[in-house]
Amino acid sequence: MTEQSECYHEINQIIAADYRFGEVTPDDDQIWELSTSRGEPPGVALSTTYGLRAYGMRLYPRFTIKGISYSDPHSFSRRPAVLFSAPNFVVLDYAPFSSLDVLQRIWVPDSQVLVGHVTLTNTTNSLLQFMMEWVAQLNPLLAGSPMTATQISVNTVLQGQSGRIHPVFFLTGGPRSDYSAFPSLGVEVSLTPNSSRQFTWALSALDSVDESFYSARKSTAWSLENEQVKIAMKKRFESVEIDTGDPSVNQLIDQSQQRLFQLLLPPFQQFKHPSYVSERDPDQGAYASEKTMKYEQDWGIQRISEIWSLSRMLLPARPDLVKELLQNLFDQQAPDGTIFAQTGWNGNVTNLPAAPLLISLVLDTYKSNPDKEWLTLIHPALTRYLQAWFHIRNDDDEDGWPEWKHLLQTGLAESAAFSRQMKIELQVLAESAEWPSLAALLMHECQGLKKIAALLNTGDEQTWLNEKIEQLEQSVQGTWDEKNGFFNYRDRQNHNSPAGKRLHLFKQNGKSAVSFASVQPARIYILFTPRDGELRHVECKIKGVTDHHEKTVTLSGRQFQWQGDYSYVVPEELFKSVKEIEVSGMIKGDQVEIRLVDFQFKGPDFIIPLWTGLTSREQAQRIVRQAPDFLEKNRHEIPLYIKIMWIEGLLKYGYKESAWHYYCDWFLNGSIGETEAGNLANNGRNSNPSTASLHDLIPIQTLLNLLGIERITDNELCLQGFNEFLPKVIVQYKKFTMELETSQTSVKNTNGESMLITDPGPHRIKLS
């Protein structure tokens, strides 16, 4: 029990500039990590690598009394506790020794400055004399120097260099630098009984020593108490306070909302509106120029599936931000109407269309902020976007069921935990199959556009939309697999759904006779795995019957697509039989596998038809019955938006208890509800939302839906049922305070009005 308690008190969180309060420069964004458990020597330390422009910078306090120094928080009389936390602000309270209380405020006002206030209080009835020292350890790159004391004007400061940045540390109170062997500034402090004294420090890292010095000195004039009040008011207005009765869960929810705003960045380069990053950590944020912007780090890349997930975190509090994120996509919309799968600060990364989630997102945002003027403005863009999906370039056989061109369009493989085998199967299917999940999304978008047209009283597209909806639904229903309980993929040429199997495995060059024949032409693919992961040209010749003629198909060189440590190719030809396969170009340890494409493969997207409402009640029951085994086995490979869709799909079909089970297991550590506490370590998520990526954050809107809150705006509340899972949950949002219990709901507002609801509803409540 003691070990768990100690672990619980460890502090480890990101602190970074918040564009709502100060300037954030995405190409020079200095991000800090506050930790009491990392680094040497141990300390209440702030650290960064300046976006890998230094091996490390570390800043922490030391307190010395009677010749004994205290810097390790594990040896403090009272260990550090967080009293207040925001994306760019932290307040700590601790006691390095029994007679001294320390209140430490830390603020990041902009991307290149870090500021702190330290209030020292003598808690005894005697005079207290000690020394406070701030250690700044810079481990620079080769072109640099560690922090050393220097005199600038009348001030003693610490300065260093790593690459082009020149950190300068400034401390008020007339500090000296000769108290210890550490690169530090310190002051001798005398406190009369029960008195306090405050010091301010600032660390700035700009392009020159002078710039950094003047910036740091200027920053010590800020009142951090005033800034804390401003931030607290903003935090209350732009987040949803949820008290579940479990402090650890409450903290998770609060930290997740806090981390969300750290991932939002201001307009930059070609984005005229705020954008997001999926991660924002000390190793990120530094780019020398627009030309060297690194897309492989995902900074600045926007994906519709991630924006959709973000909407479940931003709604209901910030529908305006969802609009802004969507506007970046509209701003880069192609003349033919295409909304691109990946757009970034430097423009479109690919010319492939994004997954059809845009209209769904627009309608969800409209529910939180009914704005017909906005709908009218974007309606033409939405119509062109949806029409573009049905163009021949996205529907090769013009059967009304469009196809993916590449797996990246689906948003399925964004997780680093995605397995190699799952990725290979889905990559092959993306190039060879028609996907029920894509058809279901398109049908859902068509239905959504009909709703928007009805809201705007424009019925121009009704006939076209009805035709598409009917065509898509009929096609998808034809792929239903009653035995396995999901919809099968189908070959994009002959529309069959055969199972896959291995035809042959080569471990060396050679020729092999193969006995394969099929009534229906079958599609194959070749997978090449080099022993060393190195790019190597192999050649594969397949002799068989294709298009009623015996033919030898040769595949080599650039036809193979390289994906890290393997490559694959999907021939255009369909084979009724294969008689012989020959492989050359291999070396010892390589493998070449020839397989039939598995159109009965189950990927995470089997959930999507349930979410869209395409499935019948009987089909939904079958999907829900067979899904748990897949979800448990592949839990690390299910992307965030699919998890949210699964929970929302369960709610749509009335499986509320099951939806709550999955929500607790996936998002709340399994610490409330029926799942066991501590499951988080096993479910593939970052256990600390304060340092998590976008894909590990908590969908607040989905939680509200589970608790019976269907919709909430500034002046309207829609309730659907009671909180069936916890004794009592208190939700506070702007003017509303709701006490959600298992058999009643109490609603209060700031006007002093209150209402007790004992009927599960639905109910619609408007502020008078």
Given a cut of 50, whether residue 302 has pLDDT beyond it is: yes
pLDDT tier, 175 (very low <50, low <70, confident <90, very high otherwise): very high
Comparing CA positions, the residue from 715, 717, 728, 701 lying closest to residue 762 is: 717
The pLDDT tens digits for 470-509 are: 999 999 999 999 999 999 999 999 999 999 999 999 999 9
Q: How many residues does the chain have?
A: 768
Q: Whole-model pTM?
A: 0.93
Bridge partners, residue 56, by sequence? 139
For residues 51 and 31, give the distance between their C-alpha atoms in angstroms, rounded to a whole number: 8
Q: How many CB atoms lie within 10 A of CB 629?
A: 9
Comparing CA positions, the residue from 35, 46, 42, 28 lying closest to residue 201 is: 46
Average the pLDDT over 253-281 and give the result.
95
Per the model's pLDDT, the better-predicted residue between 220 and 5 turns out to be 220
For residues 143 and 54, give the distance between their C-alpha atoms in angstroms, rounded to a whole number: 10
Average the pLDDT over 294-313 and give the result.
82
For residues 578 and 517, give the distance between their C-alpha atoms in angstroms, rounded to a whole number: 7
Residue 81 CB burial class (10 angstroms; 0-12, 13-18, ≥19) = exposed
Taking a C-beta distance cutoff of 8 angstroms, is the pair 390, 468 a contact?
yes
**Which residues lie closer than 8 Å to 355 by C-beta, 6 or more apart?**
304, 305, 341, 409, 410, 411, 438, 441
The DSSP output letter for 338 is P
DSSP per-residue letters across 372-394: HHHHHHHHHHHHHHHHHHTSTTT
Comparing CA positions, the residue from 432, 577, 407, 571 lying closest to residue 496 is: 432
Given a cut of 70, whether residue 209 has pLDDT beyond it is: yes
Comparing CA positions, the residue from 353, 349, 303, 294 lying closest to residue 326 is: 303
The backbone torsions φ and ψ at residue 752, rounded to the nearest 5 degrees and listed phi first, read: 90, 0
- pLDDT over 90, % of the chain: 83
Taking a C-beta distance cutoff of 8 angstroms, is the pair 280, 34 a contact?
no
Given a cut of 90, whether residue 347 has pLDDT beyond it is: no
Given a cut of 60, whether residue 444 has pLDDT beyond it is: yes
Taking a C-beta distance cutoff of 8 angstroms, is the pair 285, 278 a contact?
no
Mean pLDDT of all residues belonging to the chain: 92
Residue 174 CB burial class (10 angstroms; 0-12, 13-18, ≥19) = exposed
pLDDT tier, 678 (very low <50, low <70, confident <90, very high otherwise): very low
Q: How many CB atoms lie within 10 A of CB 76?
A: 20
What the block records as the tokens of 450 is: 């009909």
Per the model's pLDDT, the better-predicted residue between 51 and 670 turns out to be 51
**To 10 degrees, the CA torsion angle through 558, 564, 566, 567?**
-20
Taking a C-beta distance cutoff of 8 angstroms, is the pair 694, 263 a contact?
yes
pLDDT on residue 664: 95
Distances (CA, A) of 27 to 24, 44, 85, 166, 287: 9, 28, 25, 17, 5
> What is the enclosing helix (H) or strand (E) of 329?
helix 319-331
The pLDDT tens digits for 505-561 are: 999 999 999 999 998 999 999 999 999 888 888 999 999 999 889 999 999 988 999
196-206 sheet: strands from edge to edge: 78-86, 89-95, 100-110, 113-122, 196-206, 166-171, 155-162, 144-152
Taking a C-beta distance cutoff of 8 angstroms, is the pair 303, 340 a contact?
no
Average the pLDDT over 409-424 and give the result.
85
3-state secondary structure of 617: helix
First to last CA, the chain: 51
pLDDT tier, 295 (very low <50, low <70, confident <90, very high otherwise): very low
Average the pLDDT over 579-602 and give the result.
95
Given a cut of 70, whether residue 684 has pLDDT beyond it is: no
pLDDT on residue 290: 44
- Detail the DSSP E strand segments found in 438-560: 480-481, 486-487, 490-491, 502-506, 510-522, 524-529, 539-546, 549-556
Task: Report the b/e string of 735-755 with b at 16+ CB within 10 A.
Answer: ebbbbbbeeebebbbeeeeee
- Look up tokens 């990246």; give the residue: 408
Comparing CA positions, the residue from 119, 552, 49 lying closest to residue 284 is: 49
Given a cut of 50, whether residue 274 has pLDDT beyond it is: yes
Q: How many CB atoms lie within 10 A of CB 67?
A: 5
710 residue type, one letter: E
For residues 249 and 243, give the distance between their C-alpha atoms in angstroms, rounded to a whole number: 8
The pLDDT tens digits for 635-659 are: 888 999 999 999 999 999 999 999 9
pLDDT on residue 681: 36
Average the pLDDT over 733-740 and give the result.
91
Given a cut of 80, whether residue 582 has pLDDT beyond it is: yes
Comparing CA positions, the residue from 344, 261, 377, 345 lying closest to residue 19 is: 261
For residues 445 and 612, give the distance between their C-alpha atoms in angstroms, rounded to a whole number: 9
